[in-house]
Chains A and B, each alone.
Chain A
Amino acid sequence: MSVTSDQSPTRQARGLSLGGLLRNEQIFLIILLAVLIVGLSLAAPRFMTAENATAILHQSAMVLIVAVGMTMLLITAEVDISVGASLAFASCVVMDVINTTSSLTLGILAGLAFGGGVGLFNGLVVTRLKVNSLIATIATMMILQGGVFLYTREAVQNHHQIEAFSLIATGYVGPVPVPVIIAALLAVVFYVMLNYTLIGRRVFAVGSNPKAARLSGLSPETIKLVAFVVTGILVGVAATILASLLNAGQPTAGRGFELIVIAAVLLGGTSLFGGKGTIAGTILGVLILKIIDNGIIILRWNQDLQIIVPGVVIILAMFLDQLRKGRTDG
């Protein structure tokens, strides 16, 4: 890892203006998070318990795992709508392969390979066939939603009864659920990669100015392809956890998952147009949305609010972002 000290001058120069802005944005998110937590604690005493905190983290884990990949993808100015459909399909693959091979390792690898394969397909369609990624991945979503029922008409049940498999989602290390540890590790890895490695800099370069990136000898297509594949593999990780959590491969799972992931990433300050985004922001985005979700249940409010509130929060966050940008521009 010789690249960690390799801070190029251009990056530092950008760091001054952009970095300041990003920090600002995160302070806003932290304040929002704090307000939510304090407000909910006052409104519902049952909110501020260790059990509930664990439950929130547990539910945030799967979203966060895919969201870190989506952050990277959005920084390269691409998007993947197929993650929800791929999640469901991959969870069936994981369970099916473990059932047939009785091997946990093979099952997990199959899930990762499936997710990565879908990512590769998306990446190739976008970079080689030059199809807009929003359209390409909507189409992939349709293909996967149909394909999963060609693969299995029913939920793939657990026939192997491997103890370790159920521990993936339901196990604990000390007081911390396993999925939370997996998500935290991945978040750290991606944080380091995006901020301190050559790959990370290339990712930002591709998104902020593809033409310049091309001139400097980088292949934007390859970086984008890698980002798609990595996002796909992370979907495979989440799918393994989902299969373990539901104790079955569910072809109908994951509906709307893509929108939650993208909403969290955007809320975290990542730009739709590439070149800008942070893992820390994404973590905050996921936590805010999941705490809102949890709060609505704990307060016994009408659960329909669970789709209204995130909609309002995203528009509001983007608006405030716009205001801040307007001020710095002017």
Chain B
Amino acid sequence: MQQSADTAAPAPARKADHRLFRGNLVALVVSLALVIGFFALATEHFWSLRNITNVLGQASILMCLTAGVAIVFISGEVDISVGSLVAAIAIPLIVIMNATGSLALGLGGALALGLLIGVVNGYLSVYLKINSLIVTLGTLFIIRGLVYLYTGKRAIADTVYLESFFQLGNGRLWGLIPYPALVAFALVGGLAVLMTQTRFGRKVYAVGGNAEVARLAGYNVRRIKFTCFVISSLAATVGGILLASRLGSAVHVAGLNYEFQAVAAAVLGGVSLAGGIGGLIGSALGVLILAFVSNGLGMMSAPTEWQLVITGAIIIAAVALDSAKRERA
């Protein structure tokens, strides 16, 4: 344990970074407000309490995935296996729930599988030193393939119809705030506190900013990165559980391409692929911006192709602006 050594990062650089973070957060909040304002004026159905709360629920799954992906990015590694993980963890969840009639046991099974995937990703990337993009690209394929093999490409239906499980992804607190949104906000909030208010979080930033310096400062770089992979898989598991509830089943094609969406949202939210930069509140705002754009275009009955084009353009513009800002700073 090297808990006394967390002053390693050079202080001035940090301050500048913090200013950038804050500026970034303001920019994201303003962007989100602009998006919401635009659609509120452009289409009649958008600006209703029902729709706004709907979108929060719809964004919840990606919010969980993105939080985990962002932490791995900040640690200087990559995790793109989350899209397949979402489909995989629903299987023990539904199968165990069907067999035992217990939601708790099902959730336990899902979290156990999520933990296992995180350990495998982390072990291969950190301890066997295989590039994490390759590892998680590989596990992205392997997990999806195993899901197809196990399910025979048929969805596994929830046959016990537990009300608590249905409510988890579909219900609303006071008939207003979707439970999945509450779960996602709690997860993102908790992880944001972990990343900004604890020694562990500061170490993750230090390791991602410069692993060599962090190592010389006495940090256990491997253990920190390994932990990030595990956190990412567990966060994605929570997202997968919410999705399974919304689908009432374990669907073999669930989560296809979510890894790209999560990466895009994290980057839009100011997280750098180079490591050490960005935060969870920012990446959550990134998710919300993309979710409101998608919902707003849907409300305007814009075809999917426009949604793809606009999302792609937003990502390029956001990252280009961000890197221009960094060059000036």
| A contact residues vs B (CB 8 Å cutoff) | 125, 129-132, 134-136, 138-143, 145-150, 259, 262-263, 266, 272, 302, 304-308, 310-312, 314-315, 318-319, 322, 326
Contact = CB atoms under 8 A, between A and B. Distances in A.
Given A140-B312, A314-B137, 9 more contacts: A131-B323, A135-B315, A138-B264, A142-B309, A146-B309, A149-B304, A259-B141, A308-B145, A311-B141
A54 B324 CA distance: 50
A150 B138 contact: no
A174 to B, nearest CB: 37
Say what secondary structure dominates the interface of chain A.
helix
B128 A307 contact: no
Given A312-B138, A314-B137, A315-B135, A130 B308 contact: no
A311 B142 contact: yes
A318 B137 CA distance: 12
A2 B231 CA distance: 56
Contact of A322 (B129, B146, B306, B313): B129
5 contacts: A132-B272, A142-B264, A145-B305, A146-B304, A315-B135
A312 B141 CA distance: 9
B255 to A, nearest CB: 14
Contacts of B312: 138-143, 146
Contact of A263 (B137, B146, B323, B327): B137
Contact of A135 (B273, B305, B311): B273
**Interface size classification for chain B:** 35 or more
A30 B256 CA distance: 34
A7 to B, nearest CB: 31
A311 B140 contact: yes
B263 A138 contact: yes
A139 B264 contact: yes
A131 B316 contact: yes
The 3 closest A-B pairs by CB, nearest first: A146-B308, A311-B141, A308-B145
B42 interface: no
B194 to A, nearest CB: 25
A319 B130 contact: yes
Contacts of B316: 125, 129, 131, 136, 139-140
Contact of A143 (B128, B130, B313): B313
Given A139-B316, A308-B141, A311-B140, A150 B309 contact: yes
Contacts of B144: 307
A274 B217 CA distance: 29
A134 B273 contact: yes
Contacts of B139: 311, 315
Nearest to A303: B148
B323 A304 contact: no
Interface in B94-131: 124, 128-131
B129 A132 contact: no
A318 B131 contact: yes
A87 B151 CA distance: 32
A130 B320 CA distance: 6
A308 B134 contact: no
Given A142-B311, A272-B134, A315 B320 contact: no
B149 interface: yes
Contacts of A263: 137
